[in-house]
């Protein structure tokens, strides 16, 4: 499933596709944990869409709805949203919780995108 927003596509990751899309990815990965009822999530979502466009070909950007996949959120220690996780080579390299500036996310991505 894809969500088309502002000229960029951010794919939805699920419990079934997590390992394939995130852990086994051949590029750095940004994963946004969100829920439809979360207003701050909407602000981060728009930033993630911009990042997906700007880092196309360098970083994979995904989102996962914790209402649909609470077990994934629990498995990865997500206790509040929005939360953004960064993965590289199958390993969690860091995270941010809450609304953070785009520049903060860019700085994190720049560490992993080569």
Residues annotated catalytic, as ranges: 38, 41
- Contacts (Cβ under 8 Å, ≥6 apart) of 51: 30, 59, 61, 102, 105, 106, 109
Residues 45, 23: Cα–Cα separation, whole Å: 21
CA–CA separation, 28 vs 14, rounded Å? Answer: 18
Between CA 23 and CA 19 the distance in angstroms is 5
């Amino acid at each position: 499933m894809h969500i088309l927003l502002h000229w960029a596509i951010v794919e939805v990751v699920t419990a079934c596709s997590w390992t394939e899309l995130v852990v086994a990815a051949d590029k750095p990965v940004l994963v946004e944990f969100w829920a439809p009822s979360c207003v701050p999530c909407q602000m981060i979502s728009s930033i993630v869409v911009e990042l997906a466009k700007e880092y196309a070909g360098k970083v994979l950007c995904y989102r996962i709805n914790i209402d649909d996949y609470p077990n994934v959120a629990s498995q990865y220690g997500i206790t509040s949203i929005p939360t953004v996780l960064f993965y590289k080579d199958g390993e969690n390299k860091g995270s941010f919780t809450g609304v953070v500036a785009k520049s903060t996310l860019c700085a994190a991505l720049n560490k992993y995108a080569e």
